[in-house]
Structure 1
């Protein structure tokens, strides 16, 4: 372990900043060392002698982190602490001396033990000014999940803002600043210059200013196919029309529901069902042919709006009031109090929908262009959206690209067109009790022991099945979406969060009463339970009261884990049985497609397998087999549908690479093909549904600020051509893989 303490460098400013100062205030310079600030290194070495001259002619000093353990450089005042109460950011001139990006950890500590921590993605290339705010910050405060790429050019200088800073700091008593790399696998070097503090609020605002152009695209980036004019949109739309006609003619032989022809048929029942044959599970179409569900989620023209109110400066161009495109303004309020919207800034007010504005530019009559305000002489009504054209075009695309299923969260008109099978969600809501697992992304867990939950499930089925009860195009229904079966944090506590959270509730909780009744049925007395769990418990009333803290599973007391598991299975059984019975009573012709698990427990999965026709998981992994133990799933002997997966990148505008990220756009197609190939190798999997059809707005969707490049189609309604070509080839190969004779002839 290498550790050294160096006399630090020239202290240029030794007094606190004065109010009103906004220029950078250098504290010391790595290039001109002098004994004023203590510099301590751990597994790192700060070069001595003359500074290095970069390719741009700048003098900087090299800091090399050794391979192996965490390596760091720590700066401290010679005595006492720094008073940075009038500053808002630290500033460091630095350059990544490697040919690849590094993740630099910055930690700022105050005398009271508090600290701010930031993880900086430091790209290769010329030097820049690094700014780290002296208070907690995140892209969510700006209304989006991921921040714009850094660095960016500001005032002719490369500036890198730390867009996420966690923790708290007493700025009047700062005692240390540490730069570190976490276990580098080879020696890594930085070049360092002046370090100081400054007023950084204006630069933080500048980092988010003018991010989005008039077409909803990232204004600072360039990529193939980026739209620069309305004429470009119209020309691209015309060219795509010809391509879709060619591709439609090359579709494999199918029945009217997309079932594969050429193999041995199944019995036809008039509705979708499942069947296992020769060790493999299949979905079967109403006409009795095997169906591998290749679906797309969120096929919608109405879910791409982004809030503009209060952050108009983020948008380089917004339509003027009274113009044709102003028809796509609206207002909403996304503040729900759930984990998805918690701490999200700019979550209500006026929004604008760039996607529908771009549809108008691409497909509307010339009189209805942005140059002709609505109401002008001879103008058409630009506020009327052409639903029929969009629906037809979207279905043409999906079929040409080899898809055959309309996934969750999609516009109803797509299924009503009777060109492609579809799925529907059972969105169960009501005034029933809930249980918190601490994760609660979409809210607390519904309490299935509350009689009001059964009533809510019946209403949800009634609403969802209205007009669909006898529709053969409907595959089935999903039971809710990504319920919080597990918690967050410590793995063991997260695993049993549902049972632990239930026991913390009061006697008014139906789930709590069910758990206590189960324990009373297993133990003759409270003392017997106390012995089995290794706790002090003299009376059942202690357990029944609010705030009871159950112990975590531990060696020597196996009954704890057994009892927690037994209750979590009871809970899942009551939930899935209630939903299944409601569906069987009101919509018996359609499948119950499982719970779209994200985080889950073995008890919930086993219960779903017992009461549902299909298991469903949202697997954001490189391949499906990485999402769960498939040996367990095969033992359950139930068909499985992957209801969400995707691969995104950050090089086409939106700032987030999705739940499963690849480096570049060109890697998304091969990643999709590999995922599908691995799914086909798994005999339990009966289909995959991509999330989602469109890229999300760069400044964040209304629901929760997600802003990912993970679509088949851009915000401009232009398909990502290379990606959809790769997706199409992979999808068309499914027929030959499942039924060798099925892919021989085009329809």
Structure 2
């Protein structure tokens, strides 16, 4: 171990840089000696952080992790991030590695942030534990960093509306990395540890099914749920035969086909699980089926969306475990078990990314999932994680949208159990920073050539219609363009954004979003007129895009990963007065053999379950929100899904199809009281 900062002396404060933070030494929360560093993160600032800069680059070769002790003295969870930079140009994406965790109220924890190995080099987001009693921070941006040239590291927070405090102590470097050889057992579990519920044998796996069936027979469904999972004893509204929305008092609700009030609790990815790469990583697995083994059918081949493992042979441990548990006809047996589970646990929706076999199941409502793919023009926004944004002004976009929606609409059209359509997911609506975050698509369109970009041409037409003469645009923007034709190639903008330019950017982003949502809406109204348009599941968004969505979608949708729904953070929705549904949220922990917590961390399964209850109740208490869907039904593979290496503890069931009892208990408790709570919270 190499101690970097102990905070025992005032002089150590000189090494710290306070960016939108206040620093002082304190005895409270000290774990190494008598003092620690108290960091107050200031409100209403982007990325407040405690940063340590190297006077000359540090050489951290030979060290496996950056460790520190942290105390949260507040009465609420704090989500924080850690970033290590190997170049002054680091921006959160390039030249750095970054991870996140959520520390619970009044909690002390010892953390380690991985340095030596890049998990993505091994096809994973998280790796096995580093040291006893240390909580590993899951990597989000898993970039390779030059350990011989570390220039800075920081502990940062996201923008908040009030001050938040953390106490940091004992910052140090740790040696050693655990071998990855033989880390996976025959069931896809971590082989080097034991925990409650770990499957020990094939007979144990099969016995869990029998035990669970008794529980499902004893607790078939919440007493106040009707056949749709709607409020059986609640108000009776007009029955239209399909799902719709209605405002009752000051609360928005979904309304079931029978006219009963409905709040949607659901699971994403109710399917046969994700495959993990085998090619190049055979040494990690203690067992794999030989060719000719019945379980060899669960081998496959995949191409990755990101990471160094581009393509190769895969194996699906979850599907293999289903076959071992339920027998040769496992698909039908598992689907029946899953329907019974969802009813028993109080879930009334099969949500996004789930099997097509759930369509028209006649027992649990479901959403229809569609997307837009194909060759049409795209526009960068500055934050293009899953890819650049569709150009809705390209006529080919509408053609491709129809091609994506039509086969789904043909399957679910006129089925009363279909809640509605999500179309697309986490699109690149916004860029980085305060200005680019709202106007990223405007910047992106101007960076293109009008000869190749329908969006750029639409933007120029909008500007020309407003200003007429180029001189008027120059005056408004503080620019000096010689002609309108000078704007056709990629545009260089004056560094200072005038108010007029911001207004023009805002108008373009709103027009862009209207074109997108109107195109999708028209196709849905034609092909599936009885079903709700549930939006595009915003992750990155601008206010202008949300306003346009509110005009054209029946329900707005956001993927919100946080300890709970912060009502203040979503106050911008109040004037829009539209129903809203959360498409994704989750929490994960590392106490049952998994390597990564996912996007919001809990210290253990008990706290994970408590967070579930808190989150759902915070959604129930908001008058605009009409549901929330957990991502996802089962844990991801221990060694990472082939798509992108995610290996998160985010399931209600394990890779062996065993329910987490704490999560099930929290769901039953929360869902059985949810309708009464929502009505009383007015």
TM interval, short-chain normalised = 0.7 to 0.9
Q: Deviations over 1:298-332 (max 9, x none)?
A: 1001x321111111112222222322322211112
Matches within 5 A, 1:407-446: 407-446=351-390
**Alignment correspondent of 2:75:** none
- Report what 1:151 is aligned to: 131
Q: How does 1:79-228 map to 2 (within 5 A)?
A: 89-91=61-63, 133=116, 138-151=118-131, 169=146, 188-189=169-170, 207-228=179-200
SS at match of 1:282: strand
> Which structure would you say has the larger Rg?
1
Q: Which residue pairs with 1:245 in the alignment? A: 217
User: What CA distance in whole angstroms lies between the structure 1 residues aligned with 2:655 and 2:469?
Assistant: 63
How far off is 1:208 after superposition? 2.5
C-alpha distance in 2 between matches for 1:656 and 1:241: 30
Name which of 408, 411, 423 aligns with 1:479. 423
Whether the 8 Å contact between 2:69 and 2:111 is mirrored in structure 1 is no
Per-residue deviation, 1:699: 1.0
CA distance in 2, matches of 1:700, 1:672: 24
- 2:434 corresponds to which residue? 491
Q: Does the 8 Å CA contact 2:359/2:411 hold for their aligned counterparts?
A: no
Partner of 2:586: 646
Distance in structure 2 (CA, Å) of the matches to 1:461 and 1:116: 39
Deviation track 1:394-432 (CA, whole Å, cap 9, x = no partner) reads 000000000111101111222332111111122112221
Contact 2:230/2:261 (8 A) holds in 1: yes
Aligned pair 1:503/2:446, yes or no? Answer: yes
CA distance in 1, matches of 2:479, 2:546: 30
Q: 1:670 aligns with which of 603, 610, 621?
A: 610
Of 541, 555, 567, the residue aligned with 2:508 is 567
Q: Tell me which residue corresponds to 2:651.
A: 711
| 8 Å CA contact 1:143, 1:347 repeated in 2 | no
Aligned with 1:736: secondary structure? helix
- Which of 635, 647, 654 is the matching residue for 2:575? 635
Structure 1 contact 75–178 (Cα < 8 Å) conserved: no
Conserved 8 A contact 1:436-1:444: yes
Within a 5 Å distance, the mapping from 1:596-611 to structure 2 comes to 596-611=537-552
2:462 corresponds in structure 1 to 518
Report deviation, 1:74: 7.3
The answer (yes or no) to whether the contact 1:639–1:686 under 8 Å persists in 2 is: yes
Q: Contact 1:656 / 1:709 at 8 angstroms: preserved in 2?
A: yes
CA contact (8 A) 1:657 1:710 kept: yes
Q: Secondary structure at the match of 1:416?
A: coil
Taking the TM superposition and a 5 Å limit, the aligned residue runs for 1:225-236 are 225-236=197-208
- Alignment match of 2:244 (pick from 258, 273, 277): 273
Query: Residue deviations 1:85-114, cap 9 Å, x none?
Result: xxx9335999979999x999877799xxxx
The equivalent of 1:312 in structure 2 is 282
* 2:674 is the alignment partner of 1:734: yes
Counterpart for residue 48 of structure 1: none
Task: Judge conservation of contact 1:470–1:589 (CA < 8 Å) in 2.
Answer: yes
1:106–1:120 CA contact under 8 A, matched in 2: no
CA contact (8 A) 2:83 2:97 kept: yes
* Aligned CA distance change for structure 1 residues 590 and 316 (closer, same or farther; 3 Å): same
- Counterpart of 2:318 (choices 355, 361, 380) is 355
Shift of 1:186: 5.9
C-alpha distance in 2 between matches for 1:620 and 1:130: 21
1:470 and 1:120, CA in 2 relative to 1: closer, same or farther beyond 3 A? Answer: closer
Please report how far the alpha carbon of residue 588 of structure 1 lies from its aligned counterpart in structure 2 after TM superposition. 0.7
1:588 to 529, 536, 540: 529
Counterpart of 2:91 in structure 1 is: none
SS for the counterpart of 1:67 is strand
Alignment partners' CA distance in 2, 1:426 and 1:621: 26
Residues 65 and 189 of structure 1 are in contact (CA less than 8 Å); yes or no, is this contact kept in structure 2? no
Contact 2:595–2:648, Cα closer than 8 Å, also in 1 = yes
Q: Which runs of 5+ in 2 are unaligned?
A: 4-10, 16-31, 40-49, 73-79, 89-93, 102-106, 158-164
Taking a change above 3 Å as real, the CA distance of residues 551 and 476 of structure 1, as seen in their structure-2 partners, is farther
| C-alpha contact (below 8 Å) 1:621/1:660 kept by paired residues | yes
Asked if structure 2 preserves the Cα contact closer than 8 Å seen for 1:643 and 1:689, the reply is yes
Partner Cα separation in structure 2 for residue 533 and residue 312 of structure 1: 59
CA contact (8 A) 1:551 1:560 kept: no
Structure 1 residues 285 and 97 mapped into 2: Cα distance closer, same or farther (>3 Å)?
Answer: closer
Displacement after TM superposition at 1:220 (Å):
2.6
Q: Map 1:333-348 to 2 at 5 A.
A: 333-335=303-305, 341=306, 344-348=307-311
- Report the alpha carbon displacement of residue 71 of structure 1 after superposing the two structures with TM: 9.0
C-alpha separation between the residues in 2 aligned to 1:583 and 1:713? 34
Once the two structures are superposed, what CA deviation does each residue of 1:202-240 show, in whole Å capped at 9, x if it has no partner? Answer: x76x53322221111122333211111112112211100
Deviation of 1:293 (Å): 1.1
- 5 Å-filtered alignment, 1:255-270, equals 255-270=226-241
Larger mean CA deviation between 322-331 and 703-712 belongs to: 322-331
TM-aligned CA deviation for residue 464 of structure 1 = 1.4
Q: Check conservation: 2:635, 2:651, Cα contact below 8 A.
A: yes
Taking a change above 3 Å as real, the CA distance of residues 530 and 191 of structure 1, as seen in their structure-2 partners, is closer
Q: How far did residue 739 of structure 1 move?
A: 5.8
Aligned residue pairs, count = 622
Instruction: Note if 1:612 corresponds to 2:584.
Output: no
CA distance in 2: counterparts of 1:659 and 1:145, whole angstroms: 11
SS in 1 for 2:414: coil
| Alignment TM-score, normalising by the size of structure 1 | 0.75
Q: Distance in 1 between matches of 2:549 and 2:156?
A: 41
Matched, 1:725 2:665: yes
Give the CA deviation at 1:294: 1.2
Q: 1:551 to 1:393 in 2, by over 3 A?
A: farther
Report if aligned partners of 1:395, 1:414 keep a CA contact under 8 Å in 2.
no
Q: 2:256 maps to which residue?
A: 285
1:450 has 2:450 as partner: no
The 1:141–1:95 alpha-carbon spacing in structure 2 relative to 1, beyond 3 Å, is closer
Give the 5 Å matches for 1:22-37.
Answer: none
Matched, 1:300 2:244: no
Alpha carbons of structure 1 residues 161 and 512: separation in structure 2 relative to 1, 3 Å? closer
Q: Residue 181 and residue 333 in structure 1: after superposition, are their counterparts in 2 closer, same or farther (change >3 A)?
A: closer
Q: TM-score, normalised by structure 2?
A: 0.82
Give yes or no for contact 1:621–1:627 (8 Å, CA) kept in 2. Answer: no
Cα distance in structure 1, aligned partners of 2:524 and 2:138: 50
Aligned to 1:467: 411
Task: Give the CA deviation at 1:169.
Answer: 4.9
Unmatched tracts of structure 1, length 5 or more = 1-25, 31-40, 46-61, 196-202, 336-340, 365-381, 741-747
User: Structure 1 residues 500 and 106, CA, compared in 2 at 3 Å: closer, same or farther?
Assistant: closer
Counterpart for residue 529 of structure 1? 473
Deviation at 1:67, TM superposition (A): 3.1
